[in-house]
Structure 1
Amino acid sequence: MPLGTLERSAPPFFKQGPSALSRLAVYSALAVFLMVADARFQLTGPLRLAVATVLYPIQWAMLKPVELASRGSGYFQSLQEAQQELDAARQRMTQMGQRANQAEQLELENGRLRQLLALRDRLQTPAQAAEVIYDTADPFTRRVVIDRGQTGGVEPGSPVMDEAGVLGQVTRVFPLVSEVTLLVDRDQAIPVLNIRTGARGVAYGDPVAGNGGGMELRFMPANADVRADDVLTTSGVDGLYPPGLPVARVVRVERRADSAFARVYCVPLAQVQGARHVVVLKPLPENALPRPEPAHPAPAKRGARK
């Protein structure tokens, strides 16, 4: 290419207009003018309204995910708080139920203790209070263990009562505890008296009768005057139980033509299941029993001085 044809002027890319400082000053003055004009004459109000109207759908679409995420986190947080409050309310209800049960149990125990105190005041036989610790593990016997033993003055054969009647008899005594055989044990027998008729008899334990065990009044004649709801008390002829202590109530009488004896079923008045507080009586001394006097005076020996 010949040199004469070359353009010797600078290309447009290298052409310079106003300086950067001049343009900054012009644009700044324009911005200040527009701000002042907008503040005084509201020139850009319609323009802003149009731009806001056009951009509102875009803003709504962009804000929806944020709003949904916020609502979801709030929902799960409120659900977690509601679950925690529900658990706390259930725990409070459980505690209140336990306290109510404890209050009912304490009220029941207080009532039984008052009855035991009143019973001990009425008894003329020396007595001491005791508490049932546990039932024995032997499935073939009906026995409980109380927290009084030799150190507490408990003797073998001592009668044991609760607030309703005779519960059993002390059969084993250890230094700190004692074992009580209940009236419903098959090897336990107690002399009784029917307070309606005055007839005496012997009641034996029957552990299989009823739910918690019962008693049977044996060797009663078939024509004996025994009815349901008759109350049996201790007769005192054995020299062990004081007379007049409540023992059992007759619930059923069976008379058969092929048997000379009636079958009399009874339920103990004492709480043989679940007894907690009891009273241990002193056994009657041998000299407390009335002894029959001889019908004829003993003849004097020969050689005795007058």
Structure 2
Amino acid sequence: MPLGTLDRTPPPFFKQGPSALSKLMVCSALALFLMVADARFKMTQPLRQAVALVIFPVQWLAMRPVLGMRWVSEYFVGLDAAQSTEAQAREKLALQSLRANQVEQLALENERLRKLLELRGRLVTTSLAAEVLYDAADPYTRRVIIDKGLAQGIEAGSPVIDESGVLGQVTRVHPLISEVTLVTDREQAIPVLNTRTGSRGVAYGEPTAHSGSLELRYMAANADVKPGDVLTTSGVDGVYPPGLPVGVVEKVERRPDSAFARIVCKPQALVDGARHVMVLKPLTAQIPPRPEPAPSDIPAAKKGNIRK
């Protein structure tokens, strides 16, 4: 065998190199250096962008089945929701059509009766469309912000309604936005009328936070109120036009230890999901002012004090 073919290097078993601990320390120091450099100087950002660009087609292909299943699921869920919404809309449209067929006859009879009795005509209410921007930041109140304000002619105290009923009342007006207090706020009260019995009452916002209901207070324990009764605005406060839907009685509790019944109502308006609303002009400006008391109505004691 020629000598040139002999391998004069030592076998691998006898090779000497860095120990495993040294390698671990060097790799750890390198990793720490790369992390600090990336956090401070963004050195690996171009590398990340290049890697993301290269693997994007792979990610796109891998996400196709997931997105396809999600699309199919959303399609069927959306189809069921659309069918349910369509059925509700058709039912409401049929009910409104039935009421619309009676409006002309009732309006004609109402006009004739008013002329016969020489009563004052109904008040004309003007309205302005608005959109709900967001909920108020205060978690202890039920208020929303709409995109109309002083520049659009919004006034404090104006009633606010949606497609289902009374939503609330404008309590604060800014140049371009307004704050609406919902009917379920604890500080809100609306005079209502029971359409079944004709009795009047006052509906307050439920004091329990975020309950989303109304309470018909100060009704006698033996009052003729039962679940299912529809409450509308009575119009006696000079703010809300009469006949606007407010709520439906859900529960009536008659307690023997109290002279008043506890009546819980569900608001007709979408207090938690209203998007588009109508702001009505308050009726205060259209109502004649209260007459001043005549001198003959002043009590005798006050007359004596005036003479003195």
TM-score, with length taken from structure 2:
0.58
Structure 2 counterpart of 1:258: 257
| Cα deviation digits, residues 158-211 of structure 1 (max 9, x gap) | 1001111000000000011100000000000000000111100000000527x7
RMSD: 3.8
Q: 1:91 aligns with which of 58, 67, 87?
A: 67
Alpha-carbon distance in structure 2 between the residues aligned to 1:159 and 1:253: 28
Alpha-carbon distance in structure 1 between the residues aligned to 2:175 and 2:211: 30
Gaps of at least 5 residues in structure 1 are 1-80, 299-306
- Quick check: 1:158–1:240 contact (8 Å CA) kept in 2? yes
Structure 1 counterpart of 2:225: 226
Alpha-carbon distance in structure 2 between the residues aligned to 1:153 and 1:133: 18
Matches within 5 A, 1:168-207: 168-207=168-207
Which letter maps to 1:265? V
Structure 2 counterpart of 1:12: none
Structure 2 counterpart of 1:281: 280
Structure 2 counterpart of 1:27: none
| Cα deviation digits, residues 88-130 of structure 1 (max 9, x gap) | 233355467678888978x979x7xx99xx9xx9995111111
Alpha-carbon distance in structure 2 between the residues aligned to 1:258 and 1:142: 32
Structure 1 counterpart of 2:240: 241
240-249 vs 280-289, greater mean Cα deviation: 280-289
Alpha-carbon distance in structure 2 between the residues aligned to 1:150 and 1:273: 25
- Quick check: 1:203–1:215 contact (8 Å CA) kept in 2? yes
166-175 vs 89-98, greater mean Cα deviation: 89-98
TM-score, with length taken from structure 1:
0.59
Structure 2 counterpart of 1:149: 149
Matches within 5 A, 1:59-208: 85-94=61-70, 124-208=124-208
Match of 1:285, SS state, is helix
Gaps of at least 5 residues in structure 2 are 1-56, 104-122, 298-308
Structure 1 counterpart of 2:305: none
Q: CA deviation at 1:223?
A: 1.3
- Quick check: 1:212–1:273 contact (8 Å CA) kept in 2? no
Mark the structure with the bigger radius of gyration.
Answer: 1
| Cα deviation digits, residues 63-82 of structure 1 (max 9, x gap) | xxxxxxxxxxxxxxxxxx99
Q: Percent identity?
A: 59
Aligned pair count reads 208
